[in-house]
Amino acid sequence: MTMTSHPCLYFTAADLPRLRLLRHRGHHARIWQNLQSSATWCLDRQPRQERIAPRSPDPVYENLYDRFYAIMGDLAIAEHLAFAYALSGEDTYGEAARQWTLASCRAWSAEGTETPDGGKAYAVTRLLKGVATGYDLAWERFSEGERQEICQVLSQIGHNYWENYFSTPAISGPEFHAHHAVVEWSSFGVAALALLGEVPEAEVWLEATTRKFEEHLLPLGLAPDGAQVEGATFWASTMQYRLFFMDALRRVKGCDLFAQYAPYMSADLALAAITFPKEPGHDQDHQSVILEPSYGQLDYYAPVLLALAGQYRRPLLQHLALWDHSLGALQHTRYVTPHGEALLFSMGGYAYLWCDPELPAGVEEVPLSYWFPSVGEAYLRTSWEPGDLLVGVRKGEVVVHAGGQTILIEPITWREAPAGLHIESLEDDGEEARIHCTGPEGGSLHLKLHRPSRTLRLKRRVPGPWQWWSHACPAVEGNTLKWNQAQLQLQSGTLQALDPTGFTSQLSVGNGLLKIADPAPRQLPLVTMMPGDQGVIELEVRSFNPKGLR
């Protein structure tokens, strides 16, 4: 067995001169600027010296999320610095990547003796992937003794998880195929690819991972309509981890899963929901991707879109990905545990690699309306202009984005109803599109989007008040609410109240049991409307020409 040369996972040493030149050209220059800025931030952080050990009992999952976010944060920094070093050759980043990768090995090495379970695996496998990636990208920065140390830790943890987790029937079988399965198997597979020729078991791990992808993770990981049944945010991370492994597998072993499994790599969910450019900084829920939480906005989607655009020659995916003005940056979420462990994502290096400078961004002839029965979601959009009128509905949620702002979010009353909304039909003749939903207690919701006039008509029938919130406080003129570039006119029912600071989102995880220390809380306007005759509220939303919003 010959030793794998490094770097090998996402590029080779022969690729580096070309990749480094791209830092001064086109979109790559902007991506590099953001990547470098985040890498400079990473230089001021100190590597962890001691792991967070598992604790039981853990009634509100505080220990689970401390460990999860700690591993995610540690390895996001290690990977980001390793990419910064590889793409620039700068010693400062190389030394920091070396220190962070080694510190992560040393702090978390005891995971090699802990009995695996589903709660641990979701974090520990990311540790495997992150350390392996740092090792591969910054390989020349480590001494021979340090390389042996890293391989020993990865080998011990990998062996533990192979023997006591991945080879078990529950995890190797077809029922384990959704988001957690993709994240865990992909991470395990990336580690195996990095260790080929250095850890004998790596060949066995890689063969099992490749087979798992071919038989379960690709054919079964998404619903037949392209949605992720665990939630749209999981579509993005499912695709991220598919790409991490598939890209590296093709480069290291020459095994190309992209062409054969192209039907299972649908981007329709992203096409349905992306609405507006992403600016640097913290996001609100639904800000650039509707029906998505703050950590699942365009910066979470864009690297995936770049990869799929280049792989399948999709100019529209390139068009939407480039709306992310933070491309390349480390993603700082608003999710911080009470003990201060912050959830970070490192996708900047991948965005840089997956951006194809030869592929022009553009608009394709594809649908403007989408219905995903597997998850009970439907979307109507007006165009591919940023900030144009877009509406999405999911069970108890309706979200309207118009004129560059999210102006109507989440009918709270229906969200709390166990049955929620049921989508009965979606019709679209190109000029006009309609969604019809039924709700509990004889309720209903009708949405009609008229594209030429950029007008949405909403008719809602449910007894009692209707409350919803908005990202910006509108001006009130009689029965009309006005935002910049959009307005909402109430045609049936009564505007009862507008509280400019009436809604504050409380972030939580662990089925709502663990409250998150939000570093960027906001008080948002809350609107209350009362129905008119027969419990009906009717309104019309108009979005003005969005071309000036670029």
Residue corresponding to tokens 């770097």? 7
Q: Give CA separation, 513 vs 180, 285, 458, in Å.
A: 21, 20, 35
Please give the backbone phi and psi of residue 490, each rounded to the nearest 5 degrees, phi first.
-80, 120
Angle at 522 between CA 517 and CA 528, to 5 degrees: 125
pLDDT recorded at residue 412: 62
The token duo for 62 is 């505080």
Residue corresponding to tokens 């890498």? 39
Distance CA 60, CA 43 (A): 33
The token duo for 295 is 């950590």
Angle at 237 between CA 414 and CA 27, to 5 degrees: 115
Distance CA 57, CA 224 (A): 39
User: What are the residues whose beta carbons fall under 8 Å from the beta carbon of 295, sequence distance 6 or more?
Assistant: 233, 283, 331, 333, 334, 335, 343, 345
The token duo for 125 is 């496998």
Q: Give CA separation, 172 vs 133, 169, 176, 179, 243, in Å.
A: 24, 5, 7, 14, 20
What 8-state DSSP symbol labels residue 283? Answer: -
Question: Inter-axis angle of helices 232-253 and 298-312, to 10 degrees?
Answer: 40
pLDDT recorded at residue 418: 54
Please give the backbone phi and psi of residue 482, each rounded to the nearest 5 degrees, phi first.
-125, 130
Distance CA 244, CA 196 (A): 17
**13-276 topology per CATH:** Glycosyltransferase (1.50.10)
Distance CA 381, CA 399 (A): 12
Q: Give CA separation, 266 vs 8, 210, 224, 249, 304, in Å.
A: 27, 20, 9, 20, 11
User: Which residue stretches of 409-516 are H helix?
Assistant: 412-415
What 8-state DSSP symbol labels residue 217? Answer: I
369-549, which class in CATH? mainly beta
pLDDT recorded at residue 112: 97
Distance CA 128, CA 119 (A): 15
Contact indicator for 417, 396 with CB cutoff of 8 Å: yes
Length of the chain: 550
* Cβ-defined contacts of 444-451 (< 8 Å, 24+): 445/393, 445/398, 445/421, 447/380, 447/391, 447/393, 447/398, 449/380, 449/382, 449/389, 449/391, 451/368, 451/382, 451/383
pLDDT recorded at residue 439: 85
Contact indicator for 351, 328 with CB cutoff of 8 Å: yes
- What's this model's pTM, rounded to 2 decimal places? 0.96
Distance CA 368, CA 383 (A): 7
pLDDT of the chain, 550 residues: tens digit per residue: 456 799 999 999 999 999 999 999 999 999 999 999 999 999 999 999 999 999 999 999 999 999 999 999 999 999 999 999 999 999 999 999 999 999 999 999 999 999 999 999 999 999 999 999 999 999 999 999 999 999 999 999 999 999 999 999 999 999 999 999 999 999 999 999 999 999 999 999 999 999 999 999 999 999 999 999 887 679 999 999 999 999 999 999 999 999 999 999 999 999 999 999 999 999 999 999 999 999 999 999 999 999 999 999 999 999 999 999 999 999 999 999 999 999 999 999 999 999 999 999 999 999 999 999 999 999 999 999 999 999 999 987 899 999 999 999 976 655 555 567 899 999 999 999 999 999 887 889 999 999 999 999 999 998 788 999 999 999 999 999 999 999 999 999 999 999 999 999 889 999 999 999 999 999 999 999 999 988 999 999 999 866 544 4
Hey, where are the domains in the chain?
13-276, 369-549
Of the candidates 247, 155, 149, 228, the residue with the CA atom closest to the CA atom of residue 196: 155
pLDDT recorded at residue 545: 66
DSSP letter string, 154-194? HHHHHHHHIIIIITSHHHHSTT--SHHHHHHHHHHHHHHHH
User: What are the residues whose beta carbons fall under 8 Å from the beta carbon of 98, sequence distance 6 or more?
Assistant: 138, 141, 142, 146
